[in-house]
Chains A and B, each alone.
Chain A
Amino acid sequence: EVQVVESGGGLVQPGGSLRLSCAASGFSFSTCWMTWVRQAPGKGLEWVGNINQDGSDTNYVDSVKGRFIISRDNGKNSVFLQMNSLTAEDTAVYYCVRDFRYFDCWGQGTLVTVSS
Chain B
Amino acid sequence: DIVMTQTPLSLSVTPGQPASISCKSSQSLLERDGKTYLYWYLQKPGQPPHLLIYEVSNRFSGVPDRFSGSGSGTDFTLKISRVEAEDVGVYYCKQSTQHPKTFGQGTKLEIK
Contact = CB atoms under 8 A, between A and B. Distances in A.
A103 B53 CA distance: 10
Given A44-B105, A62-B100, A109-B48, A102 B39 contact: yes
Interface in B28-75: 37, 39, 41, 43, 48-51, 54-55, 60
Interface string A73-103: 0000000000000000000000100000111
B100 A60 contact: yes
B89 interface: no
A106 to B, nearest CB: 4
Contact of A107 (B48, B54, B60, B106): B48
Contact of B103 (A45, A50, A62, A102): A45
A47 B41 CA distance: 13
Contacts of A95: 48-49
Given A104-B51, A104-B60, A106-B48, A47 B100 contact: yes
B48 A61 contact: no
From A47, A62, A101, residue with most partner B Cβ within 10 Å: A101
Contact of B100 (A61, A102, A104): A61
B82 interface: no
A47 B39 CA distance: 14
Contacts of B43: 45
Contacts of A46: 103
A62 B1 CA distance: 10
A102 B54 contact: yes
A108 interface: yes
B99 interface: yes
Contacts of A59: 99-100
Q: Sorted from nearest, which 9 A-B pairs have the closest CB atoms?
A: A106-B48, A101-B96, A47-B101, A102-B54, A45-B103, A44-B106, A61-B100, A59-B99, A104-B51
Interface of B: 1, 37, 39, 41, 43, 48-51, 54-55, 60, 90, 92, 94, 96, 99-106
